[in-house]
Every structure is written in C-alpha cells, then in structure tokens.
Amino acid sequence: MNFLGLSITRVKDTDSTPSASTAMAHISQQSSRQEAPSIRVFRKQKITDLIVFPEPENMDDVWQMQALTNLVAKVDTMFNKGWIDICEIDSAITRFKISQNARSRDAYNKLRVLHCVDFTKYLPGIMEEVPDLLTCVFTGGVLPKQNFAERDV
C-alpha cells in the first residue's frame, strides 16, 4: 500500500504482536519478581519543609492534629506574606506546651527582632537562619544540633 509516497507493508506475526493482555501479563510477572518502585513526588520545596514542627502529645487526638495542621498553614501564610508574625509563634508555644530552654529563648528573641519586618529588609544571611530558628523554638531547643552562636562568628 502506498500512502503519501511511502510504501506501507503490513506484516501479521501473532508471536510479536503486542496486545493489552500480553502486556499486562508481562507487567504482572515483573512486579511479582521485583519490589514495587518507590513513589517520588516532585514539587517545589516549601519553607515549611525545612522546619521541624512541635509534635502533639496525642497523635490520635484529631483536635491536636488539627492544631498542628493549622500551625503549618499559618507559618506557610507568614512566609507568603513576607514577614514573621511572633504572635503565631507565641500561640504555638502555648498551644503545644513547648518548654523553652536558654537556646530556644535565644532563637525566639532573634525571631522577635524580625517581627513584622519585611523579608526584603533582612540583611544577607538572616533569611537562611529563620527555618532553624523556628525549629529551635518549636522543639524547645533540641534541634537543630548546631549551635547558633557558632554560626554567628
């Protein structure tokens, strides 16, 4: 058969003709022999991915889980607005009963300096510290492991 100047020849070979049923059989044989591949999700990293949030006392309590969900959303909103709201941080400390040690109080005081200041007004290097400062406050000074004073030098 000629079509647009090309010669097309049909060959019928039942052994090599692909079909949905043979393809599915082939796939099921492979999947039974191999482990399922891990699922990878590709999306732009959010600032909240860099922060360790407080863990509710009871993970089965739907209200505590909702409070955590709200906190993550509020922190995300903070970053979308372009400034730190210390009131949300105060609320989280109270809501999750996060005890503060000297290290987390130092982090909190640094965040207080940034309260309601537009991110564009931050000096170089400050913005990169914010996720770690929030993590420090939200974990009661347990994380991050590296001391802020060492990075200030």
Count of structural domains within the chain: 2
Q: Two tokens at 57?
A: 């006392």
Residue 81 placed within a domain: yes
Helix (H, G, I), strand (E, B) or coil at 100: coil
55 pLDDT tier (thresholds 50, 70, 90): confident
pLDDT number for residue 1 = 57
Query: Tokens standing for 93?
Result: 């400390």
Shared domain for 131 and 79, answered yes or no, is yes
Distance of CA 141 to the CA centre of its chain: 21
Cβ neighbours of residue 12 under 8 Å, at least 6 residues apart?
A: none
pLDDT, residue 93, reads 95
Tell me, yes or no, whether 15 and 71 share the same domain: no
Same domain, 21 and 81: no
* Pair 52, 10 in one domain: no
Q: Is 38 helix (H, G, I), strand (E, B) or coil?
A: coil
Mean pLDDT of the chain: 80
pLDDT: which is higher, 136 or 29? 136
pLDDT > 70? residue 19:
no
14 and 64 both lie in a single domain: no
Instruction: Judge if 21 and 53 occupy the same domain.
Output: no
Residues 78 and 105 reside in one and the same domain: yes
Is 145 part of any domain? yes
Q: Look at the block and give the residue holding tokens 């003709």.
A: 17
**What are the distances in angstroms from CA 109 to CA 24, 39, 102, 114?**
61, 40, 10, 9
Whether residue 22 is contained in a domain is answered as yes
Q: Are residues 67 and 119 in the same domain?
A: yes
Number of neighbours of residue 133 by Cβ within 10 angstroms: 23
Same domain, 7 and 73: no
- Between CA 108 and CA 90 the distance in angstroms is 9
Residues 87 and 26 both lie in one domain: no
- Answer whether residue 41 is part of any domain: no
Q: Is the pLDDT of residue 25 over 70?
A: no
Cis, peptide link before residue 144, omega less than 30° from 0:
yes
118 and 71 assigned to the same domain: yes
Query: Is this structure's pTM higher than 0.85?
Result: no
| Residues 79 and 121 reside in one and the same domain | yes
Domain that holds residue 17: 2-33
